[in-house]
Amino acid sequence: MKAKVRKLIVSVEETRREMGRDIVPPTRKAAAIAVIENPFAGKFADSLDPLIDIGEELGDLLGRRAVEALGIKPNQAESYGKAAIVGEGGELEHAAAILHPKLGKPLRAAVEKGAALVPSAKKMGGIGSPIDVPLGHKDAAYVRSHFDGMEVRVADAPRANEIVVAVVVTDSGRPIPRVGGLTKDKIEGKDGLK
Partner 1 sequence: MSLVEVRKFVTIIEEIWHEGGPVAATPLKVGAIAAVLKNPYAGGYVQDIMPMMDALKPFGLEMSKRLIAALGGEPKKIEGFGKGAIVGEAGELEHGALWHVPGGYAMRELLANAKAIVPSTKKVGGPGTRLDIPVTHINASYVRSHFNAMEVGIADAPRANEMVLILVMTTGARVHERVGGLKASEIKGEDGLR
Of residues 161-190, which lie at the interface with partner 1 (CB under 8 A)?
174-181
DSSP, residue by residue, 103-138: SHHHHHHHHS---S---EEEEE--TT-EEEEEEEES
Range in contact with partner 1 (rule: CB under 8 A) among 1-9, 67-75, 92-100, 155-163:
92-100
Neighbours of 129 (CB within 10 A): 16
d(CA 75, CA 109): 10
When asked if residue 134 is in the footprint of partner 1 (CB under 8 A), the reply is yes
Beta carbon of residue 108, minimum distance to partner 1 (angstroms, whole number): 14
186: nearest Cα among 139, 135, 118: 139
**Residue 27, SS3 per DSSP:** strand
Asked whether 152 and 84 are in contact (CB, 8 A), the reply is: no
Binding flag, residue 121, partner 1 (CB under 8 A): yes
Which of 14, 18, 156, 188 is the binder for partner 1 (CB under 8 A)?
A: 18
Stretch that binds partner 1, among 1-9, 62-70, 126-134, 158-166 (CB under 8 A): 126-134
Query: Per CB under 8 A, which region of 4-12, 59-67, 69-77, 94-102 contacts partner 1?
Result: 94-102
Binding footprint of partner 1, residue count (CB under 8 A): 48
**Alpha carbon of 170 to those of 27, 62, 69, 98: distances in Å?**
8, 13, 10, 21
User: Using CB under 8 A as the criterion, which residues of the chain lie in contact with partner 1 when the complex forms?
Assistant: 18-21, 44, 46, 48, 52, 83, 91-93, 96-97, 99-101, 117, 119-123, 130-136, 141-142, 144, 147-149, 151, 174-181, 191-193
